[in-house]
Amino acid sequence: MSVELRKRIFAELDAQELIDPHTHINALNPASETLADILGYHYYTELAHSAGMPKSQVEEPGISPKVKVQRLIENLGSIDNTIQYSWFVEIVQRLLDIDVEYVDSSNWESIYSAAETKMASADWEQEVLAKSNLKAVFLTNDFDDPLEGFDTSVYIPCLRTDDLVFHLSKPEVRQRLANATGIEASGAATLREAIGKLFAHFTSKNAKACAISLPPHFSPAPCSDAAADAAFAKVVSGEANGVDAKLLSYFVFWTLAESCVEYKLPFDLMIGVNRGVYADGVFQGQDLYDSRVSLIQYREFFNAFPQVVFPISVLASVTNQELASYAWIFPNVVTNGHWWYSNTPTFIEHDTSARMEAVPKTKQIGYYSDMYKLEFALPKFAMFKRILAKVLAERYVIDRSWSEQRAIDFGKQILRGNVDRIFFE
């Protein structure tokens, strides 16, 4: 009974048109051109490397897309158990319309060719959006992105602020800020002004969110203008120590939240990543984490900005209960998707189950794809929808005697309704 029930609920969820609230899509080149764009995704290169493929093979300069795909295919046998591999197969099956269970050395070449042909079609991007039931996707834009040359109602800008908070000590970042805003920041006041300019620019281009990823040790506090001035001066003169850098990062972080108040933007916090842990890893395959992080670190921050909505992602499943509890108590905290190392079925099932029964149903953003190429929305959302259907079937229709329709409505609100409510109202 449960399996049939899950299928019925899945079918209803699957019919729901989606807006993907967090991706890394390049709006000027959103879809793939060859399978190398698919298999070049760090999930494949890092897993193949982890399973034994030398980094030099993965990243050899100058190799053609086809050679890259051939090499990766030869190394995917060891990872064909992973959920990430299943995304690739589902892309082949449902976007390329090729009915295979594996892609391996026996069949990859014909699939490569078929993909090349399909992806060269003028309407491939539209076809992918249509098959994926995707109305729009959020981007992740550098603060100095001109945001031009694309339809911002489909590719919705999002101001990514890691560079501003954590890398202002780099002269090139300060230069980029000056170029983007026309303001030569020299302290608290000019920094605030420059950041305001960024928000004005982004919101004029239909930006719907500000976003940042944060390391586990980050524990923000307010920083006075005077302290920020002093810290900034030391950073510019190259005399900054760790405390100065920290103060400056606090100041910028706090200022971003102030701008979110002024410009009425939600501020996506993605909490928990340590960058560059595996120094010799492949591109984008070097980051890990320390799961000893707590939302108590944001206590003062959440209290200081009741007017800002914070959609929050946590990297480790062990932080999920805190996230659910903080979203249950703080009006301005919202649960947001299943990030990176927690974006696998066992953790998604546990984490979404815990949120669904304890957080107001209007404050749960079910899922985002985090994709770099459009083709991944379909299999990633499909994974989530299958899990959501399972949880709704088992924990609501069976365990709590809900009607199927009530369960489906709840699922749709998590999948889509709350994206509308939180980012567009």
Q: Report if residue 178 touches a second copy, rule: CB under 8 A.
A: no
Per CB under 8 A, the list member of 80, 125, 142, 162 interacting with a second copy is 80
- H-only helix segments in 51-159: 55-58, 65-74, 83-94, 108-120, 124-131
CB of 424 to a second copy, least distance (A): 16
Nearer to a second copy, 51 or 226 (CB): 51
- Binders of a second copy in range 89-128 (CB under 8 A): none
Q: Of the listed pieces 162-170, 190-198, 225-233, 314-322, which binds a second copy according to CB under 8 A?
A: 314-322
201-229 core/surface letters (b: 16 or more CB in 10 A; e: else): bbbebebbbbbbbbbbebbbeebeeebbb
Q: How far apart are the first and last CA of the chain?
A: 39
Q: Report if residue 327 touches a second copy, rule: CB under 8 A.
A: yes
Give helix 377-391 / helix 124-131 axis angle, nearest 10°.
0
366-389 core/surface letters (b: 16 or more CB in 10 A; e: else): bbbbbbbbbbbbbbbbbbbbbbbb
CB of 374 to a second copy, least distance (A): 23
Q: Of the listed pieces 21-29, 109-117, 203-211, 270-278, which binds a second copy according to CB under 8 A?
A: 270-278
Q: How many residues bind a second copy (CB under 8 A)?
A: 74
Mapped onto helix, strand or coil, the DSSP state of residue 111 is helix
Structure tokens at 121: 């079609």
Going residue by residue from 4 to 43, which x/- string records binding to a second copy, judged by CB under 8 A? Answer: ----------------------------------------
Going residue by residue from 351 to 380, which x/- string records binding to a second copy, judged by CB under 8 A? Answer: --xx-xxxxxxxx-----------------
Per CB under 8 A, the list member of 131, 197, 299, 412 interacting with a second copy is 299
CB of 231 to a second copy, least distance (A): 27
CB of 50 to a second copy, least distance (A): 5
Residue 378 DSSP symbol = H
Going residue by residue from 217 to 256, which x/- string records binding to a second copy, judged by CB under 8 A? Answer: ----------------------------------------
Structure tokens at 274: 């340590």
Q: Report if residue 341 touches a second copy, rule: CB under 8 A.
A: yes
Closest to 49 measured CA to CA, from 273, 272, 278, 291? 278
CB of 274 to a second copy, least distance (A): 6
Q: Report if residue 279 touches a second copy, rule: CB under 8 A.
A: yes
- Binders of a second copy in range 56-75 (CB under 8 A): none
- Binders of a second copy in range 376-415 (CB under 8 A): 386, 390, 395, 398-400, 410
* Cβ pair 311, 260 in contact under 8 A: no
Nearer to a second copy, 32 or 413 (CB): 413
Q: Report if residue 52 touches a second copy, rule: CB under 8 A.
A: yes
Per CB under 8 A, the list member of 30, 40, 266, 281 interacting with a second copy is 281
Nearer to a second copy, 32 or 332 (CB): 332
Q: Report if residue 150 touches a second copy, rule: CB under 8 A.
A: no
Nearer to a second copy, 118 or 299 (CB): 299
56 Cβ neighbours under 8 A, 6+ residues apart:
none
101 Cβ neighbours under 8 A, 6+ residues apart:
89
Q: Which amino acid is at 55?
A: K
Beta strands per DSSP E along 294-385: 310-314, 333-336, 364-365
Q: Report if residue 84 touches a second copy, rule: CB under 8 A.
A: yes
121-142 core/surface letters (b: 16 or more CB in 10 A; e: else): eeebbebbbeebebebbbbbbe
Q: Of the listed pieces 77-85, 173-181, 243-251, 259-267, which binds a second copy according to CB under 8 A?
A: 77-85
Cβ-based neighbour number of residue 291 at 10 Å: 14
